[in-house]
Each structure stands twice: as C-alpha cells, then as structure tokens.
Structure 1
Amino acid sequence: MRAVVQKSFGGPEVLEVVEAERPKPLSGEVLVRVRASAVNPVDVAVRAGAFPLLGEPPFGVGWDISGVVEEAGPGARFKVGDEVYGMPFFPRAATGYAEYVAAPSRQLARKPASVDHVHAAAIPLAALTAWQGLVQAADVQAGDRVLIQRAAGGVGHFAVQIAKARGAHVIAVASEGRRDFVRGLGADEVVDYRTTDFTDVVTDADIVLDSTAQGDRSLGVLRPGGTLISVLEHGDAALIERVEAAGRRFAGISVEPDYAALEAIAELVDAGRIRPYVEETFPLAEAGKAHELVAAGHVQGKIVLTVE
C-alpha cells in the first residue's frame, strides 16, 4: 500500500509517499480502506518535532480517517463493506495518511450517511475535542453563554455548532473576514480579535473554550462557577490552581478516541445540526502542501487529503 511517512523531523518536505506493508487486523480490529484523511495542527507539530508525541522518526503521521471496512478481525463490531470514520490510536501512531489503516473497531463509528468521505474525515479529532470539552466536561446547557476562541478553525467551527445544538448562546472570536462564516454556523455574537480585545466586551460567560493558550485572560470573562476548557494548557498545574482559586472550574482536554461520541456527532450531522467545512483537498502525494497551509494558521474549517 501507499503511505506517507517521515524519516526525520523538519519542514513539509520530509513527508514522502512510500510503499509499505498492508496492516493485518487483529481480534476486535478492522482493516479500513481509507478514502480520505484530514490534516490537523497536531500533525504539523509532530512532523516538525515541536511536539514529540511519537518519539523519533521514522513514523507516519495522521489520525483522522474515513473509509470502508475491507477486512474484519474476529469479534469486530463492523463487517466488510461498512463505511466508518474515526481517530484511531491517538495519541499513539495511526499512520492515517495511508491507503489502509487497521484499528480497533471500538475506536471507529459508522460514517454519517449524509456526507461524503472527505467531509466525514474532517470530523473526528476536531469535533471530538469540542464535544469532549463542551458536552462531556462542561455539560453545556440551553441558555449558557459560551465563548469560543478560534471559532472559524477546525475545533472552533464544530464547537460553535455543538454549543448551538445544545441551545447555548454562542460568542465567537474570529476575524472580520470570517464573520459571515461563523454567523452561518449559528454564532450569536462575533468578536473580531484583530480590532477588539474579547476581555473588554465579554463578561459572565458560563463556559470558555480556549484553544489559544490564553487561559489567564479567558479566566477573566468567566462568571463565578464558570468552566474554562483548555485545549493547549491542559497540563498547566499553576493555571489550574489559579482557576480554582478564583472560584471557577478547569477542564483540560486531551482528545481521545470515543466511538459513542462519534455516533452522537454523526446523528447531529445527519440531522443537519452540524456541517463539517472543508476549505481545500489535496491528493495523498501532496501532503506537504496541505501541511504548509495548515501551518500558516488561517484555515477555515479543515484541510483533507484524498486517498484514491
């Protein structure tokens, strides 16, 4: 099979397509013929060596996949021909930029029927991050005031829609150029971070989803008893202590595979409550170009690799 691997840390040019042995599913696993694989900021950080999650190269990056079950091991929860999606093995290596991935069947869910593989692949890591923070950690409810940083990005654009699906009042932080986009996702208010400091205009938020490592500043807009969900500072003991001393709750999110959450998200997608947005696609051989775009930091929604 073809797979994208890297033999050293470095820029996008270290990503290369090689011929690799097709994995064999073990008991409880399925072999997925991958149709699409999304590119996330964590992929870029791992490739560059800025986040040495997988140790030293060689290895293959990529986690988000959508495809078709080609082989099922004994006891697997899917059968050959089922369309599935997920984020297997994270934070361990999954080598998701490949024609085939073998994964535990309980780390995958049935693909939303209403979207194609490209849009399904855009969902898992970003939407699970938003879901595990907003729903599982903060238990967002109707009427809650929710501030979402980077609302037009991968995690953010799902977070806006998940919060709205739960009946929350959503305040989105995004550039003026993304205003119509996040409004279309359901945001009730939009704060242009380029001209306005969100701490000057937002007060008494029940929940803040912070994916910008601005925990202390986000803390200042929370009401007493409110919840700070941190994506990048989840292990910051000093920040946790300051949040709790201020009478607020801290929820650090390190996303993990969760088939039940993926099933719930798929239901919302098929009900028209969540729509994944894909800004651009690239073939597997151009994974480096996709990484360049993600590394630039201004992607609206997600970037996806197609695997033909």
Structure 2
Amino acid sequence: MSTPTTQKAWIVERMGHPSKALNFKSDWPVPSEIPKDHVLVKIQAAALNPVGWKLMQLAPNFLAKRPLPAEYDFAGVVEKKNGTEFEVGDPVFGFIHALITLKTRQGTLAEYALVPDICVTKRPSNIDAIHASGLTLAGLTAWQSLFECAHLEAGQTVFIYGASTAVGLFAIQIAKARGIKVVASASGKNEELVRKTGADEFIDYTKEPIHKYLASHPPSPKFHAIVDAYGLSDPSLYTHSATYMAHGGVFVTTTPAPHGLSFKEMGYLLKTIAAMTWPSWLGGIPRKFKLVSLKANKADLEAFHTLVAEGKVVGVVDSVYEMQDVLKAYERIMSSRATGKVVVKIEGST
C-alpha cells in the first residue's frame, strides 16, 4: 500500500498552554522527499515529555519555527529509507532532537515523521511499541547525566533526586546495570516503584528537606555524583553538597528552572546562578555543577539499546491515551503526578 500524502497530526500553532497552542489537523502533509541518512517512520505510539509543553509555553513562534507537529519520542515502523542500515518494515524507536525539529519541522504526535538515522534504533522483540515509545529522550538524558556529565564507574555511588520521574527511573536502571550503587529519593507513595526499579536505598523527601536529611545522615562513602532528575529550582541540595558528596563529585541537573513566576522562585534562580558560577577559591561551592544537555549520539543510543534488548532497562508507562485525547494526556503530564511516561497511541487511533 502506498504512503498517503496527508496525515492526522497535532500541530503546535502558537505559544501557550497546550489547550490553546495545539490544533488537530487531518490534512497535514506527509514528507515526500527522504534526505540521505533519514527514515520516514510510521508512528505507532508517541510519548510526551516536559520539554514539549514547556517549549509550547515559553518559546515564541519565530524561534520554534511553528506551525509543526508536537513532541519528540516515538516507536513505529520504517516506512521509507534513504542510505541507512534500516529496512522498510523494521520496528524502531527513537526521538527527534528539539534542535533537529527547528530544521526539519517534524514531530511525533503525527502518523508519520521524518527522522535522521542517528536518532533511531531497532526495537527489540522483548518490548512493545507502547513501552518503547518513551524510552529515548528520557533514557538518553539519564545515560548522558550518569556517564558524560558525572563520569560514573562501577563500584561508585550515585544519589538520584526525583527518582520517580521518567529520567529518574531510567537513571536507576542504567546505573544498576553498570554496577553503580543507587540511593534514590522520591515521595513515600512511590517508594515501592523506586525500589522495584532497582534502588538500593530510598529516602522520602517529603518528611524533611533533603539537604538537611543528608547533612544529618551523611553517607559513607560520600556520593560520587548527584543527579537531580526533577529539576529543582531551590539550589540547597547543591549548595550543601560538600557535606555528602565526595571531593571531585559532580552535581548534575536536568532543568533547574523556576516552577512559577513568584518572587520566591526568581530568588531561587538567582541563587542557583550564583552558586554554579561563583568559583570555589572565592568561597563558592567546592563541587562541580553541570546541566545535562541532551545530544543526538548514535553510540549512546546503541549502548542504551543493548540494555533494553538485555532486559536491564524497561519502559515504565504511567498512562496511555488515544490520539483524540491528547489534551487529556497533557493534563496528566503537567499535573506532576505521572510516574513514568504518558503515552499517546497513534496507530489505530480513530
């Protein structure tokens, strides 16, 4: 059967909340030209990410190159190819990097997406499309936090804050697969999930500010790295880190952005900027601070794929929505109550 020329897609047309920014189209064009080293993927499922709705609300149209389909993560089947190792019909999963969308104007809340092959890998038979759809963006963010930013090795210890987030759950699994001890923190209601995922120790951050708990219960040995998978705006976990993080350790965060526009949140932002830039020889924090910036890296993707194929990393799905219920899916992810990925089923949706 030939590839259609138009498709169903959720299009980001303007800056704002998803309910105002998104518009459903049934006649969005399917890419007809496949550049070299690209594949056209027929999307089976797409997963939402915080970066999706945050960019919707913060990035003006001229920067975001709108209109274009929303979102970045996917699982699907190769429909067409040009100069890649993939064959038509291969089941795959991957993501479209946010910077790549600026050039290609592609997104994954659509029936088809054009993707460079550095962002795609074959889907192993031990995982279905729903669970595979949310692997890549959060999984690679966790991978690069642990190894490219923190340079962790087997036998070391990492503290993961926000362990029940998608990035946190992947970080636990990846670290354990590489022989790294994991101490994890989340709310008490998620303790069972976090421990089941592989955490060696669990701390409920709701009982006491986490930096105060760690200062009064310092680990032995101290943590070799801290991964903030939540994106704390309050820098206290970093500013007190010399008490519980080893000399030469690295504090890695995903997005230390304000969670609102209050004076308190703006104050946190200024404190974070000061803490991460003030040199230690002038009284600054004597531990490194790094903001993970996701890169499209084929070697990282294939290493991550190996862990998935071996069953050492699995996708944790919070909920699944039909394509017509995308706005409800955004309500779920924006509630900050999702544990795992919020997934939208594309293929077979009416």
TM-score range, shorter chain: over 0.9
Residue 56 of structure 1: CA displacement?
6.3
Q: Which residue of 2 aligns with 1:220?
A: 240
Corresponding position: 1:4 with 2:10: yes
Question: Structure 1's 91 and 149: CA in aligned 2 closer, same or farther, altered over 3 A?
Answer: farther
Counterpart AA for 1:229: V
User: In 2, distance between residues paired with 1:263 and 1:219?
Assistant: 35
Out of 97, 115, 135, which is 1:89 matched to? 97
Normalized against structure 1, the TM-score is what?
0.92
User: In 1, distance between residues paired with 2:160 and 2:88?
Assistant: 39
C-alpha distance after superposition, 1:39-96 (max 9, x if no partner) = 011111122x2355953642322000111111012x2231211122111232342311
After the TM superposition, which of the residue ranges 91-100 and 49-58 deviates more from structure 2?
Answer: 49-58
The answer to whether the Cα contact below 8 Å between 1:91 and 1:256 also exists between their aligned partners in 2 is no
Q: Which residue of 1 aligns with 2:39?
A: 30
Counterpart AA for 2:24: V
Counterpart AA for 1:213: S
Q: Which residue of 2 aligns with 1:283?
A: 322
Q: Which residue of 2 aligns with 1:232?
A: 255
The answer to whether the Cα contact below 8 Å between 1:243 and 1:249 also exists between their aligned partners in 2 is no
Q: Which residue of 2 aligns with 1:45?
A: 54
Q: Which residue of 1 aligns with 2:115?
A: 103
Residue 219 of structure 1: CA displacement?
4.2
User: In 1, distance between residues paired with 2:60 and 2:203?
Assistant: 34
Larger Rg: 2
Q: Which residue of 2 aligns with 1:16?
A: 23
Q: Which residue of 2 aligns with 1:207?
A: 225
Question: Structure 1's 109 and 239: CA in aligned 2 closer, same or farther, altered over 3 A?
Answer: farther
Residue 167 of structure 1: CA displacement?
1.6
Counterpart AA for 1:97: L
The answer to whether the Cα contact below 8 Å between 1:34 and 1:68 also exists between their aligned partners in 2 is yes
Normalized against structure 2, the TM-score is what?
0.82
Identity over aligned residues, as a percent? Answer: 31
Q: Which residue of 2 aligns with 1:251?
A: 290
Helix, strand or coil at the partner of 2:88: coil
The answer to whether the Cα contact below 8 Å between 1:90 and 1:257 also exists between their aligned partners in 2 is no
Q: Which residue of 1 aligns with 2:263?
A: none
The answer to whether the Cα contact below 8 Å between 1:5 and 1:17 also exists between their aligned partners in 2 is yes
Helix, strand or coil at the partner of 2:68: coil
Residue 125 of structure 1: CA displacement?
0.7
Q: Which residue of 2 aligns with 1:295?
A: 334
Q: Structure 2: 5+ residue runs without aligned partners?
A: 1-6, 258-268
Q: Which residue of 1 aligns with 2:277?
A: 241
User: In 2, distance between residues paired with 1:266 and 1:168?
Assistant: 19
Aligned pairs (5 A) from 1:117-132: 117-132=129-144
Out of 70, 76, 79, which is 2:84 matched to? 76
User: In 1, distance between residues paired with 2:253 and 2:274?
Assistant: 13
User: In 1, distance between residues paired with 2:225 and 2:278?
Assistant: 16
Question: Structure 1's 51 and 159: CA in aligned 2 closer, same or farther, altered over 3 A?
Answer: farther
Helix, strand or coil at the partner of 1:152: coil
Helix, strand or coil at the partner of 2:99: coil
Counterpart AA for 2:296: P
User: In 2, distance between residues paired with 1:281 and 1:297?
Assistant: 16
RMSD between aligned residues? 2.1
Q: Which residue of 1 aligns with 2:73?
A: 64
Size of the aligned set, in residue pairs, is 306
